[in-house]
Amino acid sequence: DLKLAPLQENTLDCIQYFTLAVSIIVSGLLADRFDCRRLILFSFYLSVLSTVACATVANYITLLLSRALIGYAVGLNYSLNSVMIARLASCKAIVDDIAFVSSLMYSVGGVWSPVLRYLLLNVMD
């Protein structure tokens, strides 16, 4: 337990969504400047490293930084996958189907993670 103040807890709640929004906005510019595949790999490696950092936090600053990096990685991954799919698909119907499945999987993952966390916390108590 890090014994955080209420302001620190609220900052931790908001930082991931803020950096996610920033990375979605910036990802278009980055995709034009760098190769899309390299950026997707970079976001994957960034998410792995920041998740490990988040799991092994020692203080508030480390936790804040790792949450911010997770937000950047998720935002880059989400938007760059859509850009890459649109570039590689052969027709609009395929793009629409892939975008639907991709959005559905992100939604399922977003719901499954808190449900799993809730169930695990009940088992641990």
Between the two ends of the chain, the Cα-to-Cα distance in Å is 16
User: Residue 123 is which amino acid?
Assistant: V
Report the pLDDT value the prediction gives residue 1, as an integer from 0 to 100.
66
Report the pLDDT value the prediction gives residue 125, as an integer from 0 to 100.
57
The angle formed by the CA atoms of residues 16, 54 and 23, to the nearest 5 degrees, is 30
pLDDT digits (tens, 9 = 90+) for 83-113: 777 777 777 777 777 778 777 777 776 676 6
- Gap between the Cα atoms of 99 and 109, Å rounded: 15
pLDDT digits (tens, 9 = 90+) for 23-75: 988 888 888 888 888 888 888 888 888 888 877 777 888 888 888 988 888 88
Tell me the C-alpha to C-alpha distance, in Å, between residue 99 and each of 16, 74, 82, 87: 23, 16, 7, 12
Rg of the chain taking only CA atoms, in angstroms: 17
- For the cut 70, the answer to whether the pLDDT of residue 123 exceeds it is no
Contacts of 79 by beta carbon, 8 Å cutoff, 6+ apart = 23, 24, 27, 28
- Gap between the Cα atoms of 48 and 44, Å rounded: 6
